[in-house]
């Protein structure tokens, strides 16, 4: 069973099928040595043997001539006939991924007969963005929107230097297919800005620690770096002195970190500096950084999270949801080839229910990264069980035109949910979100239920069926349970301002952030239709623009995102909006109570530290779910004047 400090889904027991056999590893290079070390350790633990020649049960072979066009650097082929199981790769990263594939298969890797199968990631970049501050920020703290303790990388203003922990983390990431990390907050403060220059040696230490598992380091950088760090009087991306400064900065970084991945930039968003200050476009801004990285093959990830955060709440024509499309769709084809436009999967901000961002289908000549949030900012902050695999899968399978989002993407990114907590993710069951992101980033059309089964099997090897059944029961439907007791029908937010935890129905209603629900005595929701509202629905191609335009055809789960409707509006389910609100709040609490009961019944099957932590979190989840139920039901009873048809007590 996994202990609190083992990489979450690689406890020693999962290596048992490998260790009992004769295993050959062929090839040379740093990552091949990592593979060889893993195999040697497994065989040493469980009585297997590392061999050079036949006979062997498993061959892991790096071959430069092994169909490199088919496999690429990270792909591998796996086969089993009447003889041994073979894993062949043309690149070192592929051999490492092939090893972890065998570990996932367990005993199945050595039974039966199957023809050669190719496994290759859908995109080349699969990155976790850590919103970590080097120095503890007076407002943001150590990790902004992080719910698993402090930073893995930084402590008391300096690099932690805990290379063993970092190496274990890189192993954990490689095991599920993640190949890159950003080691600092996308809101780049003065201290973090210096990681690009005089503190780059600390970043190099981190890169050295994670490199053996094929993980590359990226940096979040400030668009204003030439001014902040070099004292230039401008950061204008078309200024030759500015472009020269960025080129020199990139040269220094690559001298220290030859496999450096690139930059991620938040510009002209929520007060961050950007090209608008110089009358330039986002394509101009990204182009200056892309030119600096181009000689080294680095990538600029330019976030599309740009909107008016000083909005007048009385102005219903300004719509935060429209902003990314309005800013970036006209720039299609103007971004440099080394730029990836990083787009949040929904148009607002990682809510429990949002439509897919129309930006993802609006820039066919631009490379795109889809950004998710594993850290659960608005989905329970890792104090609530909320497995997000079904949500992410819905996004990735959503079709904009002829292609799915998963097919349109050139990269996948997620805000990290990992910190220095002994359980890695704070809530032990939140490890399932980290694993699921990695596996879906590798294969966007994977069945999330099958991915959950993998996580259960790897985290609890040889678990009795009662434990597996219990874990499925508490995880599989947890996203929809969370949705039931929080903001209804896609309207979003209704959270406490600032920290975003717990209910406050009007918390942001009269603020400048553009996160409104417009509830009044007559109805609730935001009119985003073309005919009478903000026009946001028209940013989608058909059939979605037509479907979302009318409350008669809009899916129930997104109704209040797209329309302001009376409380008596009848949903496709047959319920009125107000009765749906009452019923789902009560149902959500009941489902949390049942999940807590199921988890309590697994105490004899789970490591005591795991069980105690999850039990503690369930107590808080239940308290919070009841608070959500009571505040929302009371609020809407008072707004609408319509009582619960079932006569239940509403406080």
Domains of the chain, residue spans: 12-119, 125-459, 483-526+564-640
- Report residue 42 as tokens: 């497994």
Q: What is the pLDDT of residue 65?
A: 85
Q: What is the pLDDT of residue 259?
A: 98
pLDDT tens profile 271-301: 999 999 999 999 999 999 999 999 999 999 9
Q: What is the pLDDT of residue 354?
A: 98
The band of 8, judged by pLDDT with boundaries at 50, 70 and 90, is: low
What global pTM score does this model have? Answer: 0.96
- Tell me what percent of the residues of the chain surpass a pLDDT of 70: 99
Query: At 451, phi and psi to the nearest 5?
Result: -65, -40
Q: What is the pLDDT of residue 482?
A: 98
N- to C-terminal Cα separation, the chain: 44
Q: What is the pLDDT of residue 19?
A: 86
DSSP-derived secondary structure for 537-557: GGGSPTTHHHHHH-TTTS-GG
Q: What is the pLDDT of residue 3?
A: 38
Average pLDDT over the chain reads 96
Q: What is the pLDDT of residue 11?
A: 82
CATH architecture type of domain 483-526+564-640: Alpha-Beta Complex (3.90)
Q: What is the pLDDT of residue 644?
A: 98
Q: If DSSP states are collapsed to H, E and C, what string results for 143-189?
A: ECCCCCCCCCCEECCEECCCHHHHHHHHHHHHHHCCCEEECCCCCCC
pLDDT tens profile 167-195: 999 999 999 999 999 999 999 999 999 99
What's the average model confidence in pLDDT over 246-254? 98
DSSP E strand boundaries for 259-379: 262-265, 299-303, 339-344, 368-373
Q: Would you say residue 1 has pLDDT above 50?
A: no
Helix, strand, coil shares of the chain, percent, nearest 5, are 45, 15, 45
Q: Would you say residue 631 has pLDDT above 60?
A: yes
- Residue that the structure tokens 């009269």 belong to: 510
pLDDT tens profile 53-75: 999 999 999 998 878 889 999 99
Query: At 227, phi and psi to the nearest 5?
Result: -80, -50
Length of the chain (residues) = 651
608's CB contacts (< 8 A; 6+ apart) are: none
In the chain, the largest separation of any two C-alpha atoms, in whole Å, equals 80
Catalytic residue list: 270, 349, 377
Q: Which residues pair with 217 in a beta bridge?
A: 181
Tell me, rounded to whole angstroms, the distance of Cα 608 from its chain centroid. Answer: 29
Domain 125-459, CATH class in plain words:
alpha beta
Distance CA 608, CA 598 (A): 16
What's the average model confidence in pLDDT over 82-98? 96
Q: Would you say residue 2 has pLDDT above 50?
A: no
- Which long-range contacts link 323-326 to residues 24+ away (Cβ below 8 Å)? 324/357, 324/359, 325/357, 325/358, 325/359, 325/362, 325/539
**Is 12-119 CATH 3.30.379.10?**
yes
pLDDT tens profile 417-463: 999 999 999 999 999 999 999 999 999 999 999 999 999 999 999 88
Secondary structure class of 218 (helix, strand, coil):
strand
């Amino acid at each position: 069973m996994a202990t609190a400090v083992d990489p979450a889904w690689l406890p020693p027991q999962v290596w048992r099928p490998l260790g009992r056999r004769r295993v050959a590893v062929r090839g040379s290079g740093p990552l091949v040595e990592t593979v060889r070390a893993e195999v040697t350790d497994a065989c040493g633990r469980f009585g297997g043997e590392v061999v050079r020649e036949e006979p062997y049960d498993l061959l892991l072979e790096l071959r430069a001539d092994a169909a490199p066009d088919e496999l690429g650097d990270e792909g591998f082929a796996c086969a089993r006939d009447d003889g041994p199981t073979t894993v062949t790769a043309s690149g070192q990263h592929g051999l490492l991924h092939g090893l972890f594939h065998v570990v996932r298969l367990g005993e199945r890797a050595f039974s039966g007969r199957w023809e050669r199968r190719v496994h290759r990631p859908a995109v080349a970049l699969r990155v976790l963005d850590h919103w970590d501050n080097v120095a503890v920020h007076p407002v943001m703290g150590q990790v902004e929107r992080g719910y698993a303790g402090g930073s893995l990388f930084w402590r008391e203003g300096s690099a932690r230097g805990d290379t063993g922990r970092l190496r274990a983390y890189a192993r954990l990431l490689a095991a599920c297919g993640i190949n890159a990390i950003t080691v600092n907050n996308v809101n780049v403060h003065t201290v973090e800005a210096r990681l690009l220059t005089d503190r780059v040696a600390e970043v190099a230490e981190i890169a050295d620690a994670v490199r053996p598992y094929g993980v590359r380091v990226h940096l979040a950088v400030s668009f204003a770096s030439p001014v902040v760090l070099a004292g230039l009087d401008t950061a204008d991306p078309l200024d030759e002195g500015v472009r020269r400064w960025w080129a020199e900065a990139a040269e220094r970084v690559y001298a220290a970190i030859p496999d450096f991945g690139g930059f991620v930039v938040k510009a002209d968003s929520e007060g961050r500096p950007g090209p608008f200050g110089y009358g330039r476009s986002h394509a101009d801004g990204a182009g200056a950084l892309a030119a600096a990285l181009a000689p080294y093959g680095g990538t600029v990830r330019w976030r599309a999270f740009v909107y008016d955060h000083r909005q007048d709440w009385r102005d219903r024509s300004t719509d935060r949801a429209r902003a990314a499309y309005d800013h970036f769709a006209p720039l299609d084809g103007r971004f440099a080839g080394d730029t990836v436009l990083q787009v949040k999967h929904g148009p607002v901000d990682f809510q429990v229910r949002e439509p897919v961002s129309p930006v993802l289908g609006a820039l066919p000549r631009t490379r795109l990264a889809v950004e998710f949030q594993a850290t659960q900012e608005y989905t329970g902050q890792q104090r609530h069980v909320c497995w997000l695999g079904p949500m992410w899968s819905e996004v990735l399978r959503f079709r904009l035109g002829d292609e799915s989002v998963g097919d349109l993407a050139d990269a996948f990114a997620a805000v990290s949910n990992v910190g220095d907590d002994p359980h890695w993710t704070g809530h032990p069951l939140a490890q399932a979100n980290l694993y699921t992101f990695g596996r879906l980033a590798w294969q966007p059309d994977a069945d999330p239920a099958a991915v959950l089964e993998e996580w259960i099997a790897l985290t609890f090897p040889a678990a009795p069926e009662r434990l597996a059944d219990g874990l499925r029961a508490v995880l599989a439907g947890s996203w929809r349970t969370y949705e039931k007791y929080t903001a209804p029908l896609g309207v979003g937010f209704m959270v406490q301002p600032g920290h975003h935890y717990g209910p406050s129905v009007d918390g942001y209603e009269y603020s400048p952030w553009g996160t409104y629900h417009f509830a009044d005595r007559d109805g609730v929701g935001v009119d985003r239709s073309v005919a009478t509202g903000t026009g946001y629905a028209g940013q989608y191609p058909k059939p979605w623009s037509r479907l979302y335009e009318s409350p008669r055809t809009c899916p129930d789960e997104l109704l209040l995102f797209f329309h302001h409707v009376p409380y008596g509006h009848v949903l496709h389910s047959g319920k009125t909006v107000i009765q749906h609100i009452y019923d789902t709040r009560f149902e959500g609490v009941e489902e949390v109570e049942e999940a807590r009961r199921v988890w309590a019944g697994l105490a004899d099957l789970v490591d005591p530290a795991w069980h105690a932590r999850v039990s503690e979190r369930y107590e808080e989840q239940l308290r919070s779910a009841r608070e959500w139920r009571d505040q929302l039901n009371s609020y809407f009873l008072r707004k609408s004047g319509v009582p619960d048809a079932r006569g239940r007590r509403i406080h």
